[in-house]
Structure 1
Amino acid sequence: MCRLFGMSSAPARVRATFWLVAAPDSLEQQSRTNPDGTGIGVFAPDGKPVTLRQPVAAWQDREFALEARDLESATFVAHVRYASTGGLSIANTHPFELDGRLFAHNGVIQGMDALDAELATEGLGWRPAVSGSTDSERFFALITREIRRRDGDVGAGIVAAARWVAAHLSLYGLNLVLTTPDGLWALRYPDTHELYVLDRSGGGHHLDM
């Protein structure tokens, strides 16, 4: 099963070194059992999304370790992949980018043909926005469409897309993290798995790991 990491310190720009590579159960360590791809998504100071993705395990990727130590952002999303749908390629490696947002997903959505048909319902539709072959990227395209339909309301768009998938497709898990330069949204559906959230107030000491 893939592993997800999301963090927000907005508006402050910080590093996520500890959780990505230094903690005893860091994302790098978890990639030893989720070896099919590694990705980190952050935002530059001007708000431009930046993704670092490789279809290899984080612990085998020297570039991941170096960049994970130095990256600064107000929001982070990271992912180590255990492939279920789609081959090992950069196009299938999370996080994905659409409309200036970043997205990573853990779970399995079945019924790709039906999802493709739904994404193609409006003119050229949203299918051309999907460059890879994963269910995750298609789900993100559906979310992005629903956000646009709701005048940019990210939370409402996520809820609408998740409800459509739950009503029309078979699934095992809609667990996601979606980030913008100053916001983070997460969904766990269904709630059969533990959800761990660390909520820390400001202040204290800053450690550059």
Structure 2
Amino acid sequence: MCRWLAYSGRPIFLDTLVTQPSHSLVAQSLNSELNISPAGVLLSTNGDGFGIGWYNRRAEPGVFRDDKPAWHDENLKNLCHQVESHIFFAHIRATTTGDVQRTNCHPFQFKNWLFQHNGHVSDFEKIRRELQLDIAPELYPYLRGTTDSETFFMLALTYGLQENPKLALQKMVERVLQALERVNPKGVLNLSCALSDGDRLYTLRFSHNEEAMTQFYSSDTECIQDFDDQFELMPQGSIVVVSEPLDKASDKWKPIPANTFATIEANQVSSETFL
């Protein structure tokens, strides 16, 4: 499955987390230690594409995505070394649905919103049409790829993501489960998501009929120091959310409980039960 990180805090260069640490996200694309497939198999590589999204002075975020392996792209390394941001996303892809192509790489963008996802849904090919018919007509032209993840994002936007993110995600999940129940009552839905409007960072960890994908956060200034003590400390008040810790899985990284919706704003993490 995929891996992602999201950062909120004082502006830092993207390479601080994405490329430089010994167990950075790009390093995890070659050797992910917690990357378990739906069949329970450890998957060590995420080579089906990558993406970064960041906010700066404009309302809409910058996005750079490609279908090459993250470890194989010098442009990613150079861009992360130059771009500084107070909220940014990064994602490495190991596909279970959708072809290996740029339009299927995360994060997905609509206006000032970013969305990225790790997870899957059973029988997507059987419920895809039903779900996509629910996407608002004015949003449907923005559906560019073939992944379940992008369909989830478009549905959440349809259900009011820009006004009430938690309620929109609840409606999206309920709609997906309704469709899944019709074709496979024992089917699985697993969502580990990050979303942002440029002011706040939101995360969701939810699963149905299997163990939830891993998700952790840290506000510890030494959260990447176990392997890389030569690096500067993270800024005070920063929050890093990850699928997999960027150093040892120590008490510096707090697991986000399953069935949790979190809002990160002004250096505070507010968690709520999702469903």
Q: Shorter-chain TM-score: what band?
A: 0.7 to 0.9
TM-score normalised per structure 2: 0.66
> 2:89 & 2:212 partners in 1: Cα distance?
22
Q: How many residues align?
A: 200
Moved over 4 A (4+): none
Structure 1 gaps, min length 5: 205-209
Residue of structure 1 in register with 2:64 after alignment: 52
The structure showing larger relative contact order (alpha-carbon pairs under 8 Å, at least 6 residues apart) is: 1
* TM-score (norm: length of structure 1): 0.85
**Residue in 2 that maps onto 1:111:** 124
Mark the structure with the bigger radius of gyration: 2
CA shift in 2, pair 1:123/1:68, >3 Å: closer
Structure 1: how far apart are the matches of 2:88 and 2:67?
A: 19
Decide whether aligned partners of structure 1 residues 50 and 57 sit closer, same or farther in structure 2, where only a CA change above 3 A counts: same
C-alpha root-mean-square deviation of aligned residues, in Å? 2.2
The answer to whether the aligner puts 1:161 opposite 2:185 as a matched pair is no
- How far off its partner does 1:117 sit? 2.5
Equivalent position to 1:131, from 144, 148, 152: 144
Is the contact made by 1:38 and 1:81 (CA closer than 8 Å) also made in structure 2?
Answer: yes
Instruction: Please list the CA deviations of residues 74-129 of structure 1 after superposition, one character each: whole Å capped at 9, or x if unmatched.
Output: 21111000011111111111111123211111111233453432332477364432
Q: Quote how far apart the aligned CAs of 1:19 are.
A: 1.6
Shift of 1:189: 1.4
Distance in 1 of aligned mates of 2:55 and 2:49? 20
Using the TM superposition, give the Cα deviation of residue 199 of structure 1 relative to its aligned residue in structure 2, in angstroms. Answer: 2.0
The answer to whether the 8 Å contact 1:178/1:186 transfers is yes
Match of 1:207 in 2: none
CA apart distance, 1:65: 0.7
Q: Distance in 2 between matches of 1:123 and 1:64?
A: 34
**Other structure's SS at 2:159 match:** helix
Deviations 1:42-100 (A, max 9, x none): 12312221111010111100011111122222211110000111111111111111232
Partner of 1:5: 5
Q: Structure 2 stretches of 5 or more lacking a match?
A: 31-44, 181-186, 222-234, 238-275
Q: Who is 1:142 aligned against?
A: 155
